[in-house]
């Protein structure tokens, strides 16, 4: 069945460090992935997406890498800031959105 | 990005009553809307997917008679929690995406969420 999971529940980093959040998926037919950021008490906020015909996509301070061979994707945040502290979810977006467990990112000043 | 408005942001109701939550896409036509439920410190659990003008598709284990979903227009979907009980207390979030056919794989935009407390 479909499942999207994350490796680490909590990631603590220092301000200015680069952060890497990982995600594994099980549906080999998945062809579209999205990273969301969720702050406490709010709905998820779109960060970046990637389609299966790509291995890498860059945004502002963020990069998503997709490895279809091992069904793994990651979100890299450069120069992490305290405002980046939140829970990050990957989601598989083909036809419906299935969310992973989530990783809480804690950024210390 | 596109804006999805969810209302109310919080509601307290008595056990046995029904509560309606609205989800509106403000600046785009939402051909598909998703409804999620989220418990504290947990992920979003997909409850149902609705396409405008057709019946919602519920995920396994979600009671369709308890969680009524209506997607009557391209900008509005509603979730009604019928005969609410304390165990229905949760954070409910809607999401909307536009596009059809080959354009279905597009980002989905989320509402602010509704905190439901049943007493």
Cross-chain residue pair B113–A43, CB shorter than 8 Å? yes
Question: B101 — contact with chain A (CB < 8 Å)?
Answer: no
Report the gap between the CA of B19 and the closest CA in chain A (Å). 20
For the four alpha carbons of A74, A79, A83 and A85, in that order, the dihedral sign comes to positive
Contact A24, A7 (CB under 8 A): yes
pLDDT for residue A42? 92
Residue among B42, B105, B109 minimizing CB distance to A93: B105
- The per-residue pLDDT of chain B, averaged, comes to 90
Range of lowest pLDDT (A26-30, A71-75, B58-62): A26-30
- Distance, CA of B16 to CA of B89 (rounded, Å): 12
pLDDT score recorded for residue B53? 80
Which of B35, B34, B109, B29 is CA-nearest to residue B73?
B29
Which string of DSSP letters, residue by residue, matches A88-108?
A: EEEEE-SSS-EE---EEEEEE
Across the interface, of A34, A46, A102, the residue whose CB is closest to B43 is A102
Supply the pLDDT for residue A4: 58
Say what the pLDDT of residue A85 is: 97
**CB within 8 Å of A14: residues ≥ 6 apart:** A80, A107, A108
Chain A residue numbers with beta carbons less than 8 Å from the beta carbon of B34 are 96-97
Q: Pick A62 or A28 by higher pLDDT.
A: A62
Q: Is B71 within 8 Å of B77 (Cβ atoms)?
A: yes
- What DSSP assignment string belongs to B3-51? -EEEE-SEEEE-TT--EEEEEEESSS--SEEEEEEE-TTS-EEEEEEEE
Q: List chain A residues with CB under 8 Å of B107.
A: 34, 46, 49, 93
Compute the average pLDDT of residues B25-37: 90
- Chain mean pLDDT for chain A: 89
Closest-CA distance, B43 to chain A, in angstroms, reads: 5
Of B1, B43, B113, the CB nearest to A46: B1
Mean pLDDT of B85-97: 95
**C-alpha to C-alpha distance for B67 and B71, rounded to whole angstroms:** 13
The answer, yes or no, to whether residue B23 has pLDDT greater than 50, is yes
User: Reduced to 3 states, what is the DSSP secondary structure of residue A35?
Assistant: strand
Sign of the Cα pseudo-torsion (A74, A78, B41, B58, in order): negative
Q: How far is A11 from chain B (nearest CA, A)?
A: 15
Q: Which residues contact B1 (CB under 8 A, 6 or more apart)?
A: A46, B107, B109
**DSSP assigned state of B83:** S
For the ranges A87-101, B4-18, B22-36, B66-80, the lowest mean pLDDT is seen at A87-101
- C-alpha distances in angstroms, B9 versus A14, B5, B20, B112, B113? 33, 10, 12, 7, 6
Chain B residues in contact with A3 by the CB 8 A cut-off are none
pLDDT the model gives residue B63: 95
Whether residue A3 is predicted with pLDDT greater than 70 in this model: the reply is: no
A15-46 pLDDT per residue, tens: 999 999 999 988 888 889 999 999 998 999 99
């Amino acid at each position: 069945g479909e499942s999207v999971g994350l490796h680490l529940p909590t990631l603590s980093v220092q301000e200015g460090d680069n952060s890497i959040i990982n995600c594994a998926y099980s549906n080999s037919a998945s062809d579209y992935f999205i990273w969301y950021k969720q702050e406490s008490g709010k709905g998820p906020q779109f960060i970046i997406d990637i389609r299966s015909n790509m291995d890498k996509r860059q945004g502002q301070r963020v990069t998503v890498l997709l490895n279809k061979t091992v069904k793994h994707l990651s979100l890299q945040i450069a120069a992490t800031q305290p405002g980046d502290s939140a829970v990050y979810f990957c989601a598989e977006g083909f036809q419906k959105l299935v969310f992973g467990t989530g990783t809480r990112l804690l950024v210390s000043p | 990005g596109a804006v999805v408005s969810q209302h109310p942001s919080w509601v307290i109701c008595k056990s046995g009553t029904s509560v309606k939550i609205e989800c509106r896409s403000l600046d785009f036509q939402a051909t598909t809307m998703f409804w999620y439920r989220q418990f504290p410190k947990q992920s979003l659990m997909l409850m149902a997917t609705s396409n405008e003008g057709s019946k919602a598709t519920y995920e396994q284990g979600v009671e369709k008679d308890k969680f009524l979903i209506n997607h009557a227009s391209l900008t509005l979907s509603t979730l009604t929690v019928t005969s609410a009980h304390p165990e229905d207390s949760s954070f409910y979030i809607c999401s909307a995406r536009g596009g059809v056919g080959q354009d279905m794989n597009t980002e989905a935009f989320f509402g602010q969420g509704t905190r439901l407390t049943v007493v």
